[in-house]
Chains A and B, each alone.
Chain A
Amino acid sequence: MLTVMAVAGLMAGLLLPTCALACRIVGVHPDLLMVVAVSWCLLRGRREALVFAAFGGLAADIQSSGPLGLLTAATIVATLAASIGEINVFRTVVPLPYVTILVASAAYYTVTVIGVLLTGRPLELGRLLITSVAPAVLLNLVSMVPAHWLAQRVSGSLAPSTADWSS
């Protein structure tokens, strides 16, 4: 299953940024790859989602002009942040995906901003928050509705994920 997730991640990493561009509002697009990774993490667990995020992030990084590995790191950190919501007791709570995507988006943009700043690019943090981060987080929240619905359908048609009792 992890191989399938790696291939799916690569495909998604190549396709989703292009799809996301069609949903641009005020010059900002949703981070669909991260949204799907977070949704998958909630439905199928951290392991599969991390593989998806790593390979998807790598494919997105190839298309980005930012430092190689930045989007991979950001997507992985967002998925790890989302894994807090993975605990089975709360998995069926309806607002969980939407609360989780807000947390994951915050983690994603923290990593992205730090990464961009480390490369020496000038960023006005205050304006960045208003013009780029806030609209993107909002778009991620809205995108979570169809993405999670679709992920639920796909996940439902697959074999249940195996429980790892070793840890």
Chain B
Amino acid sequence: MKTQRGPAVALITVLGLILASLVLDIVQASNPIRDAFSYLAAPVQYGLASAGRAIEGVTERMRTRDALVEENRALREENAELRNQIVLLHEAEIENESLRRLLEFKRAAPSQQLLAAEVIGRDPNNLLDYIIVDRGRADGVGRNMPVLAADGLVGRISDVSENAATVMLITDPSSSISALLQRSRATGVVQGAQGHRLVLRYVTPDSSIELGDIVITSGLGGNLPKRLVIGQVVEVLQSEAAMFQEAALVPAVAASDLERVLILLNFVPVDVASEAPSAEE
């Protein structure tokens, strides 16, 4: 039968070692042994400490990373919001400028009853120059009413529904306006032409046309009020054989950039056909 002496021997050995170390400590002979142990244990301790620091660093970094991700997300959101605010502010600035100019125009002509309208659409057909505005019959808008911008004439109301109206721009080939050269007082007709252009026609050969001349409405025919700016002469098309002079104009209002317009409500266009005396009269 085998006796179990192992644990007892181990216990006695440990107790012996403790006793021996105590004796060595009392007689102060333990230092070399401590030094030897330290010498052997130091690299292990250093390694363990480094590993501990590394683990601590990883957890710290993870904690920091999570915070940074969160902070980054918050900053991105804030950035997007600020960008949006900048766009809105810029838009408000443009709108403000546009409204200020319209208001100045309105103040300069207090007798005119002007209604501000937003451009909400354009004709889907590339061959036609029309815009759609957000004011209609409900706002007092009627057919043939003049439509203006701060810089001059835009066009005429060609069709009205309850809450919207279609404006035929002066650059549409169907548009025809009685006009006057501001400097020489020569009269003519401004017609729209393809490519958003204007042409002044039927100016008598003895009239003077110069580059830069301002062309305004003459009021003849009663379709439009007098003295609205139409455009400026950029090219004089004179021919010896032609009965009349012509000139190419640049429109005072760039219709492609229009966002807001003014509708002149208190101008009643004269229907020349109904005013003319009939043959029986």
Contacts and interface: CB of A to CB of B under 8 A. Distances in A.
Interface string B148-177: 000000000011000000101000011000
Nearest to A17: B124
Nearest to A16: B124
Interface in A24-50: 24, 27-29, 31, 33
Interface string A99-119: 000000000000011001000
A71 B193 CA distance: 21
Given A27-B195, A65-B166, A128-B194, A116 B121 contact: no
Instruction: Name the residue in B122, B125, B256 with the highest tally of chain A Cβ atoms < 10 Å from its Cβ.
Output: B125
B82 interface: no
A122 interface: yes
A64 B125 contact: yes
A64 B124 contact: yes
Contact of A131 (B122, B166, B168, B195): B195
Interface residues of B, number: 21
Contacts of A17: 121-122, 124
Given A21-B122, A64-B123, A131 B128 contact: no
B194 A123 contact: yes
A27 B122 CA distance: 11
Contact of B126 (A33, A65, A70, A132): A132
Interface in A52-83: 60, 63-66, 70-71
A22 B111 CA distance: 37
A75 B261 CA distance: 32
Contacts of B127: 66, 112-113, 116, 123, 128, 132
Interface of B: 121-128, 130, 132, 158-159, 166, 168, 173-174, 193-196, 256
30 contacts: A17-B122, A18-B121, A20-B124, A21-B122, A24-B256, A28-B126, A29-B122, A29-B126, A31-B126, A63-B121, A64-B123, A65-B123, A65-B130, A65-B159, A66-B125, A70-B125, A71-B124, A112-B125, A116-B125, A121-B128, A121-B173, A121-B174, A123-B127, A124-B193, A127-B193, A127-B194, A128-B127, A130-B195, A132-B126, A132-B194
